[in-house]
Chains A and B, each alone.
Chain A
């Protein structure tokens, strides 16, 4: 009797404790079904597509998106032209008003070809059931499983906290964004939140690896495992297990609601944060807001084969489009991330220095960060600084001409 009971207990415990899963990222090559667009589908991410680097120049897909996207992209191209960055953009406009996904499909194919993209926020006007958010579709299809936002304060910019330096690492494809919703009984809607060992491990490993390589001390995993014991519990457990491979790093965990409170009262306690999808977007918006808003910080999305760079908080900014007050810094920072990713460190440094000088030393800022200048003022000042520094072909040192 007692044996039987314990056996039953064991059976019962099996689904609760997810110890049976192997901690191994195994990618199976499935058939290339174009646009399953679900996070649950394993993706064939074309490894055998040769990279688009020719004679030292890189091909990069540019998706201006909606709202202020096209303006900002124009500034980025101007800046690249000025400092001679060896990048050839393939610009693809996605018309938000069209039904169907032809342009989006083409954009995704283009990123697969080039491997790297610079992206504004893409609008999805239609709310039809079969039309999903195009941003999510893009991330799922390219299997961009991790999103990295480095929130670092700029001195002198009015903000609630000074000297914040937090790296937010967010699971980008799973979780609440699985887009599996149904109305099983009239009036009752269920939305599925999906956590997979594979993706949780990939993002945790990325977070710890990032911390190790960048000399960070602590990783904080954000969760709500007290309520969602299985899904968030799995995420937390995977993070704990990955931590065993990084004994030199400190690892703690924090519940999401507490995290938000701690973030606004004492953000300096955080170093690297490891989060599921929805918590990630909340926390990154909170912290970006703390240090000066949506217009400053850039975000990076990585998959196994592709990288997409975009402003950190994914806002379209339709309300301020065409008014010449949008802050170009976030997109410029995204382009700097892209140059770093492609190995053009000198160009990245020159543009970074010029941008930093403009908004910190010269205090030429757009209204959203307490300035009085227009977008073009900011860009023109950056160009003025850049015109004195041309980066030599191919990655030579740059020289001050003044």
Chain B
């Protein structure tokens, strides 16, 4: 009974937060007529998402960034309040850019639905490439220094195909799908990313020694594409070895290209090396649209309403967004402010060993905008 009350209380709290969001969206919509502003879809997500997004909006407002948000509350665990997926997809297709918090996914399925909301969104928009730039931040103490790795993950096929069945009672089969087309596409994305950002090496992560056909195809596609890039070194590494190398000597990696599940693992591992889920930004690309989201996908639900989540990841997403839509000056201003706050080390959230709140951090960043 008490649990019920707690859940109810929480969802009411969230409802209030959501209403506030919708209200701010409406206000922004009015202001949008004064032209020359860019509209961006905003999905706050579950857990601490709404708090982080609020922090981002505060910083954008303080920096006078000409971006308006179109907020949609999308959630799988709170279906009552959730916006319709079609509306969100339509909005992203229109705006071509989106900032997204993390959507929580239950471990069970009530209706026998195997696809999660995250996967539906990705498939709907064909957001095939997830890019996580893992970089050591100034003033964040970690075991390794000077990490600068980009992990590029294919996220529309592989183990996430949502094709599972129990052919005989007690025997469950899960299909991992690898196609040449999508493997080539992600490999080309990785090499193009490397070319554009002056990177030297691309490492393909695989397990082709065991899954000779599936991962073998992925690996062969990467090799095929690598021939088009004679000035970039191509390397391959088995996933278990990769994780070991990552924790012992992460500086050897430059750009990594991975299938779906390995990517998720390596993403989180690498994020852990530079300070955790609160400080790493990521982005998912389709041909037309980009969704910017924190790199390691954790909702941090235990901290909801406690004002202690680290907004750095979300703010970095914001700077990436600004660079993407040709507003590099704003991006630099915010990036410098974040770096300054982290370097000073006076205002630190709990995950980085400090005592400050989300709000303190946001204010510190705003104070450093110049």
Chain A: residues with CB nearer than 8 A to chain B? 48-57, 59, 81, 84, 86, 88, 90, 106, 109, 112-113, 390, 392-394, 396, 399, 401
Contact = CB atoms under 8 A, between A and B. Distances in A.
A56 B188 contact: no
B153 to A, nearest CB: 14
Given A49-B228, A56-B96, A392-B37, A90 B195 contact: yes
B324 A52 contact: no
B370 interface: no
Contact of A56 (B35, B36, B196, B290): B290
B237 interface: no
In the complex, the 10 A-B pairs of residues with the closest C-beta atoms, listed nearest first:
A55-B290, A84-B326, A393-B325, A399-B35, A394-B96, A50-B185, A55-B285, A393-B38, A53-B287, A56-B96
Given A55-B96, A393-B326, A113 B38 contact: no
Contacts of B35: 399, 401
Nearest to B291: A55
A55 B231 contact: no
Contacts of A81: 326
Contacts of A84: 325-326
A120 B237 CA distance: 41
Nearest to B321: A393
Nearest to A58: B287
Contacts of A401: 35-36
A84 B231 CA distance: 29
B73 interface: no
A394 B290 CA distance: 11
B233 interface: no
A54 B96 contact: no
B96 A390 contact: no
B230 A106 contact: yes
B196 A112 contact: no
B129 interface: yes
Nearest to A32: B227
A56 B326 contact: no
Contact of A51 (B97, B191, B230, B287): B287
B36 A109 contact: no
Contact of A54 (B36, B97, B189, B228): B189
A59 B231 contact: no
Nearest to A114: B192
A52 B228 contact: no
A88 B198 CA distance: 13
A392 B36 contact: yes
A113 B224 CA distance: 12
B289 interface: yes
Point out which of A54, A392, A399, A401 has the most chain B C-beta atoms below 10 A from its C-beta.
Answer: A54
A54 B285 contact: yes
30 contacts: A48-B181, A48-B184, A49-B188, A49-B228, A52-B188, A53-B287, A54-B129, A54-B285, A54-B287, A55-B285, A55-B286, A55-B287, A55-B288, A55-B290, A55-B324, A56-B96, A56-B287, A56-B288, A59-B192, A84-B325, A88-B196, A90-B195, A106-B230, A113-B191, A113-B192, A113-B229, A392-B36, A399-B35, A399-B36, A401-B36
A190 B289 CA distance: 56
Contacts of A90: 195-196
A90 B193 CA distance: 11
Contact of B192 (A54, A86, A390): A54
Contacts of B181: 48, 50
A394 B191 CA distance: 24
Contacts of B283: 55
Interface string B93-124: 00111000000000000000000000000000
B127 to A, nearest CB: 9
A112 B195 CA distance: 14
Given A49-B184, A54-B192, 17 more contacts: A50-B185, A54-B285, A55-B290, A84-B325, A90-B195, A106-B230, A106-B231, A109-B229, A113-B192, A392-B36, A392-B38, A393-B38, A393-B96, A393-B325, A393-B326, A399-B36, A401-B36
Nearest to A397: B35
B228 A109 contact: yes
A77 B289 CA distance: 23
Nearest to B288: A56
A294 B79 CA distance: 64
A208 B45 CA distance: 54
Interface string B203-238: 000000000000000000000000011110000000
Nearest to A90: B195
A92 to B, nearest CB: 10
A86 B96 CA distance: 12
A49 B185 CA distance: 8
Interface string B318-330: 0000001110000
Nearest to B287: A53
Contacts of B192: 52, 54, 59, 113
Point out which of A50, A55, A86, A88 has the most chain B C-beta atoms below 10 A from its C-beta.
Answer: A55
Contacts of A390: 36
A88 B285 CA distance: 15
A49 B227 CA distance: 12
B287 A86 contact: no
Contacts of A396: 38
Contacts of A57: 324
A180 B29 CA distance: 66
B186 to A, nearest CB: 9
B33 to A, nearest CB: 11
Nearest to A390: B36
